[in-house]
Amino acid sequence: MRESDFVSGFARGLKVIEAFGETRQKLTIAEAAKLTELDRATVRRCLLTLADLGYADYDGKFFVLTPKVLRLGHAYLSATPLPLMIQPYLDQLSEKSGQSASASVLDGTEVVYIARASQKRVMSINLSPGSRLPAYCASMGRVLLAALPETEARSILDRSELKANTPLTKTDPDVLMNELRRVRAEGCAVIDQELELGLCSIAVPIANDRGRVVAAINIGAPAAHVPAAEMVTRYLPLLKETQGALRLVLR
């Protein structure tokens, strides 16, 4: 791609949208300028353009995203075969296990949920498709990182904000790299309350018919119901079964 094929004004605008992140419902011009490191006047024009097009509302101080903004990315979930094909398998997996089951892919340093089936909600956060979790402390993140070349996985860990969500969260990069080696060897990852106290999950990678890892699936359960030590014996057979079935149908 040549430099003259790059539209920098468009790129700046996308950077402004990304400034909202996952936690900011609204932004001021000054906040968005700080987050994007773009000139304040440039950011102001981008935000005003979003408001004019209906992607945001402006009350004279704050820009608030509107439902229209969901048009900008939902095609990935609604039109891409992978989420659509995995969903029925997760429905069955959730039914058989009696717990929630999800699928995700890696995007940068995070896993993005692309499909989910749940019975009762037990997590404090709602992980519908499009939601993100840091890969280093999520079971699906662990298996997706384990499927990468070690230098690439290490690079992602180095770019991650390795914060301790609970006293059980592993945050040392070397410890995490050893853990990824173990995950690769065993073919699954178990997270024992590293993301959130009270929650355990077990995940396996999903490969397509050419052996390339394209997603991960997991089963999540409350630690009170299923201690981490039992996650493997109770759920790994079901996950392996689903893994094998999906391998035959994904290309």
Partner DNA sequence: CGACAATGTGCGTTATACGAACAAATATCA
Partner DNA sequence: TGATATTTGTTCGTATAACGCACATTGTCG
Residues that bind a copy of itself (CB under 8 A): 1, 5-7, 9-14, 17-18, 20-25, 44-46, 48-49, 51-53, 55, 64-81, 83-84, 87, 91, 95, 105-108, 112, 114-121, 126, 128-132
Do strands 189-192 and 199-207 pair parallel, antiparallel, or not at all (unpaired)?
antiparallel
Minimum gap (Å) between residue 109 Cβ and a copy of itself: 12
Closest to a copy of itself by CB, 51 or 162: 51
Q: Can you say whether residue 233 is alpha, beta or left, with left for phi > 0 and alpha for psi between -120 and 50 degrees?
A: alpha
Query: Cβ closer to DNA: 46 or 206?
Result: 46
Minimum CB distance to a copy of itself smaller for 107 or for 152: 107
Q: Is position 60 an interface residue for DNA (rule: CB under 7 A)?
A: yes
Most distant CA pair in the chain: distance in Å? 58
Partner in contact with 29, chosen from a copy of itself, DNA, none, beta carbon below 5 to 8 Å by kind: DNA
Rounded CA separation 36/203 (Å): 35
List strand residue ranges (DSSP E) for 59-149, in order.
63-65, 100-107, 110-117, 132-134
Which of a copy of itself, DNA, none is residue 75 near (CB under 5 to 8 Å by kind)?
Answer: a copy of itself
Tell me which residues in 20-49 interact with DNA (CB under 7 A). Answer: 28-31, 38-42, 44-46
CB of 245 to DNA, least distance (A): 33
Q: Which residues pair with 116 in a beta bridge?
A: 102
Q: Could you say which of a copy of itself, DNA, none residue 210 binds, taking C-beta under 5 to 8 angstroms by partner kind?
A: none
Size of the site for DNA (CB under 7 A): 22
Least distance in Å: CB of 183 to a copy of itself? Answer: 21
Among 61, 120, 159, 210, binds DNA (CB under 7 A): 61
Buried b (16+ CB within 10 A) or exposed e, 8-30: eeeebbebbbebbeeeeeebebe
Residue 64 or 223: the one with the smaller Cβ distance to a copy of itself is 64
Question: Which H helix or E strand runs over 190?
Answer: strand 189-192
Written in H, E and C, the secondary structure of 21-85 is CCCCCEECHHHHHHHHCCCHHHHHHHHHHHHHHCCEEECCCCEEECHHHHHHCHHHHHHCHHHHH
Q: Does 9 bind DNA (CB under 7 A)?
A: yes
In 3-state terms the chain splits into helix, strand, coil percentages (rounded to 5) of 50, 20, 30
| Residues near DNA (CB under 7 A) | 2, 4, 6-10, 12, 28-31, 38-42, 44-46, 60-61
